[in-house]
Amino acid sequence: MIKQRLFLTGWMLVLLTACTTDTEKVTLLAEPSQLPAETGKNILITYSDSGYTRAKVFAPYLERYTTDTRNETLMKKGITIYFYDKEMKVDSYLKSKWATRYDREKKMIARNDVVMVNKKGDTLNTEELIWDENTQRIYSDKFIRITTPEEIIMGEGFESNTAFTKYKIFSIRGTIRLD
């Protein structure tokens, strides 16, 4: 009898200590609309226009949310995007540690240690870069650094084509010649 009471008391303590009062977790479990509609690992997404492959996006992990108020795709473990010309040759590539694609607006925001490299080897570094799929433009209003074989250009704000061949820096902070 004493063994049964000790056993039951032990189980009651285990159950009581296992319970949580974290309201965020309880709310998440209560509202399935807050859960991703799709998840995936090692994802490849191909973007095409008029029969031409424009870009390929690789993501190690993806979560897609689709509700009346939220229609976005999160790539929390980073992305690599390859942009292609009409001959299916890589024009440029972009890497970041985090990305969010807003599906309705057709815009992707790459964040955290963003690097973009073109065919010539010119390299862009920033903390945030936006790809507008409708206009095939990339841009940022954050600090950027572009390294070419000849110079390093630093500035605030940037816009370019996806090939990263025709770009504009809005507020140049400095240029370092690499002769």
157-172 pLDDT, tens per residue? Answer: 999 999 999 999 999 9
pLDDT at 22 over 80: no
Q: Of the given ranges (35-39, 89-93, 96-100, 111-115), which has the lowest mean pLDDT?
A: 35-39
Tokens of 175: 């240029």
Query: Which fold does the domain 37-177 belong to in CATH?
Result: lipopolysaccharide transport protein A fold (2.60.450)
What does the pLDDT look like over 27-44, one tens digit per residue? 555 465 678 888 899 999
Name the phi and psi angles at 160, rounded to 5. Answer: -160, 165
Contacts of 119 (CB under 8 A, 6+ apart): 90, 91, 92, 163, 165
C-alpha dist (Å) from residue 147 to 74, 86, 176: 29, 26, 9
What's the whole-number mean pLDDT along residues 82-96?
Answer: 94
Which residue from 71, 60, 139, 148 is spatially nearest to 104, judged by alpha carbons? 71
pTM, full prediction = 0.77
- What is the pLDDT, as a whole number, of residue 39? 87
pLDDT-derived band at 127 (thresholds 50, 70, 90) equals very high
